[in-house]
Structure 1
């Protein structure tokens, strides 16, 4: 197995911190006003908006923990990628573009985020500050 150079180790740790920070901000905003989050979900036409808001907060919390610890990072990063693409379509998709072109930019921003999550899922948490937990046969 090839060892990571110092710059690769630092880059992986920074990337993990960025992902953790992005999801932590999402959790913080949800917890500051879960009602507003539920309202946003309801406005998009989804049933059980408060339940879905709490599910989103729990998933995002698990993603924060995974990126900070490296534990179960591969499966959670895969789930996170699907989640991020879903959010893009559900809340910023084509039906929103005619009324506000800025929605197209919000929609597009979900794809590089999803790509980064897929890359993280494939390459894992790195060799430093990473609990080696994950799917059987994969650290």
Structure 2
């Protein structure tokens, strides 16, 4: 029988705020994709990926799903792990070592992805919290 971990009010609030921040970040990203899908496809193509428009749409659909999971808490742990893998991929594909020559800002963008990755991994471990959460996901796990 899985045990319920008691959370203090500040822990509950922190988890909810983190969920809202994650949802907000991906909501901004998907909004930019939907309002400029051709530009997103161009950015993907410039990085050397084939089928850029298809990949842009796949990324947008994934980001919509992530927003819904983070807002509702449904499948939260799985969504956080998928988002972590996605962020790691984005960091290397679009801001990795091959982009650093002559552009120090790209290194900063690359490092920022690891901060976000760390937050997503912490979120995956701690779950969605008790407030405004559907708590769907793996059996015995929030």
TM-score normalised by the chain length of structure 2: 0.94
Give unmatched runs, 5+ long, in structure 2: none
TM-score normalised by the chain length of structure 1: 0.96
Count of matched residue positions in the alignment of Structure 1 and Structure 2: 139
Q: Cα distance, 1:108 vs. partner?
A: 0.4
The whole-number CA distance in structure 1 between the counterparts of 2:98 and 2:23 is 30
| 81-90 or 6-15: bigger deviation | 6-15
Match of 2:11? 8
State the SS of the aligned residue for 1:31. helix
Residues 1:75 and 2:78 are matched in the alignment: yes
Which of 17, 31, 36 does residue 34 from structure 2 map onto?
A: 31
Q: Cα 1:81–1:130, aligned 2, differ >3 Å: closer, same or farther?
A: same
The whole-number CA distance in structure 2 between the counterparts of 1:87 and 1:11 is 26
Residues 1:101 and 2:74 are matched in the alignment: no
Runs of 4 or more above 4 Å deviation: none
